[in-house]
Amino acid sequence: MEASRISLTPPEVTLPRNGRIPIGRAVRWWSPYEAADHETAVAVFMSPRAFVRVCAHAGSDLDNEVGGWLLGKWRADRLSGEQFIVIENSLPARDTRHGSAHLTFTQNSQVALYNEVQERYPNKDVLGWYHTHPRMGVFLSELDTWLHRNFFPDLYQVALVVEPHSASGGFFVRRPDGWLDARRYYGFFELNNGRKRSVVHWRNMLSESERKDVIGGQLS
């Protein structure tokens, strides 16, 4: 792979727009690797539609890695200043080099995705990328980390890994100082807008109530 770098956000965008963090319209899902005091550069929100689309693409090839881009909004809460992203869409990548244990975004795939964003989603931010790890678990390999650092360098851009066979997944989110742990993944906020039923089916995620039960059991 050539080490050329493609800018995935307009160069004039250096700060998030103001918004209101949608805590009241979301359900928090926790990974087993995070605690409430773990500080990340952004809080991650994801719409049910985006979640379903990512999972559908993940299940389209259970033998080889697939992936794409995550699109939506990068914002800062107008009251607290906390930065957050809202993942609203996903774009499957084409012309990738992939196999059972690797996925590489080629120059052609990156350019095609960038052009599609400009044509179809000109007001969306590129919030990061997603890819699958069939039968391997949820982590970032050395190549994954290289891709994330070179093609998605901004603090607010995240990497989502999905393991379709075990129905699990997680977000890799930078800390405010830019450091990224390739083994520790995070949960997210599901934007349910008052819906009683959740679309999240990942077995490695705990809801808020389930997490409290686990913590309560550990303390008793």
Q: What does the pLDDT read at residue 5? A: 43
Give domain status of residue 9, yes or no. no
pTM: 0.88
Give domain status of residue 53, yes or no. yes
- What gap in Å lies between CA 164 and CA 121, rounded to an integer? 27
Give domain status of residue 39, yes or no. yes
Rg (CA), the chain: 17
Give domain status of residue 208, yes or no. yes
Give domain status of residue 151, yes or no. yes
Output the domain CATH number for residue 62. Answer: 3.40.140.10
Q: Quote the number of domains for the chain.
A: 1
List the domain range (segments joined by +) for residue 154: 17-219
- What gap in Å lies between CA 117 and CA 7, rounded to an integer? 12
Give domain status of residue 56, yes or no. yes
The segments of the chain whose pLDDT lies below 70 read: 1-13, 36-37, 95-100, 213-220
Give domain status of residue 3, yes or no. no
Q: What does the pLDDT read at residue 97? A: 67
